[in-house]
Structure 1
């Protein structure tokens, strides 16, 4: 082997090892009815040690080496030992809120975490945050501040995107009975009082429960996708400016029953959404081609890539292994999209794709911020 070929081989192997190592912060998932998964490289293993039960939302976070730090259903916070943290009860999220919680490290700190929570269906608790100090309780953490009010009423949508400066965060939510996306800046100084407001897209409101459904960022953070759940549901795809916090250029994808989960493919070229076919009584997964030439072409690119044996599908979540995992309500298995970058049925959906070792999924999967993983590649310029 020539010296050049040898060096190239070593570089490739090192990059592969780094990719597996760098997935640490998202390595452990807790969700559903005491269900869990741990990822080690490209291997996923079911966990049965979780204390969390939830109908929908949850959030977990691990350190860069894949060691569990904390997890929550938006009401109770558990530490790495699966014990309730001091002051870890009584958070004002809702276990039947789509994205009941989100955990973010405070910029510039290795011991302080923020837990953001959303109430169910635009009720009065709204969007709030609590603060965890991991130096307390012998390094296991203590909730030192609870339920700091941000805004109400809001929908159940909650996500975050890394700021273009590579340090701070944009915490994203949506006002109720409004078309306003809100981007709150989380910096080393704390949470901004006033959000960046973007009045774009459809109104999330009315009596038809459009508060329900996921809001997720693309892997590069430059796009957002939202599901608006009701009997005549829509999906929305929008651009996001990681420098200014502005949301723009909405693309409406309409005509879907009970739209709930959304996820981008690893390369950002495809969008997947879960919907429930009332006539068939079965959940389905729809794929959209985001590289189509315009908004109309994206809408027309829709293709059903999977029909589940379950009547109700919930969250979609891109795993550290590059596969998309699909929540099946009250089921011992998750569905798995094996090759999400591929077009149509070549994406290969397996309904009984991941066995939960006797635990059950419900509608939700953990909520992670874009850019949360160590070594995650993100651009330093706005879209």
Structure 2
């Protein structure tokens, strides 16, 4: 198995990306192809005591977060994310991993790999830490505006991912809404509720944002605007929580003494809410494995993202998603319900 890694993507590239890739290669997860500026990559590789040689595909073009994704891809056809994605399309790699521009990676996946099977809207599926362990949230930002049948798609894709990759038997699927009652929500969620109620998945109804950390479902479905806002609010809240604890601990000797006793527990808790533990988020619904990493990913996050990519390949996720039921037929159900 070969994994193409965008060595130039992310706030800490190429150093953190190369270190994470080398660790994955050293542990035998997969063969790694690093795509980016060869001189910069080789400089990082020489600084590491690696025993396995990594393949390097050279390019000097990089797409930044400030550039319009689709336009940048047309102007920079040899950009690192484009080349890495093309390796998957050509069968030279089985997955691509990047911590670079999310928009550019989504555009590359759509334009180069194409959509999978009957999927209309690919979605970013990310893991959220909860009291019941990590749960899946999608869409986390690929689709700001959605129609009811798109949420229906997300529910099917999320259910399949939770089953095959996370090992959850009969995953519970919840629709993120402003209330748990079936009559709550806007036109999109009201229509989506009716579709999901009749779908061949384990739909448990509406869930409110405050219930997400409790793990009341295994898959949370929402549009990309809502999902991205929830995700970033959660990251900020976790960071603020630990900053507040540190501030309180430094106020007295007694507090510092108590913190010392709780240190192993606090470290374990911090790991559980750290995005780096979960690696990357797969873009579900494209004809290939594309793993999107946090822009500030460190070595551990890149390593874990490669681990996610390997798992997706092993479980033949793309082939399974291609067999999902045709979603277009659900549009008439929406129109009938609304009319």
TM-score (norm 2): 0.31
Structure (1/2) with the larger strand percentage: 1
Q: Give the structure with the higher percent helix.
A: 2
* Structure with the greater alpha carbon radius of gyration: 2
TM-score by length of 1: 0.29
